[in-house]
Amino acid sequence: VPRLVINYKPLNSALQWIRYPIPQKKDLPNRLSKAIIFSKFDMKSGFWQVQIKEEDRYKTAFNVPFGQYEWNVMPF
C-alpha cells in the first residue's frame, strides 16, 4: 500500500513559534490542586479528528501528479 509522505519542515519558518515549557513533575500536584478545568485527549483512537481552521488549511497544501490537496484535519 503506498503511503503519502510530505516534508512540512519548511512550513516552520512561516509559523509563529509559541513555547509551552513542560512543567517539572514535582510542580504538578500544586498546579493541579488550583485547577478549575481538567481536560483529557485520547489520542490513541484520535486519528483524523483534530480539525484545522479553514483559514490555515492552505498551509497544508501538497501537490501530486493528479492534483493539489489541502488537509481539513491534522494528518496524524
Would you say residue 58 lies in a domain? yes
Going by pLDDT thresholds of 50, 70 and 90, the confidence category of residue 50 is confident
Express as a percent the part of the chain with pLDDT over 70.
Answer: 95
- Domain holding 71, by residue range, is 46-76
Q: What pLDDT is stored for residue 20 in this prediction?
A: 81
**DSSP for 10-62?**
GGGGGSPP---PPPPGGGHHHHHHT-S------GGG-TT-SBPPGGGGGGG-E
Would you say residue 1 lies in a domain? no
**pLDDT tens, 4-21?**
888 989 888 888 888 888
> What is the domain count for the chain?
1
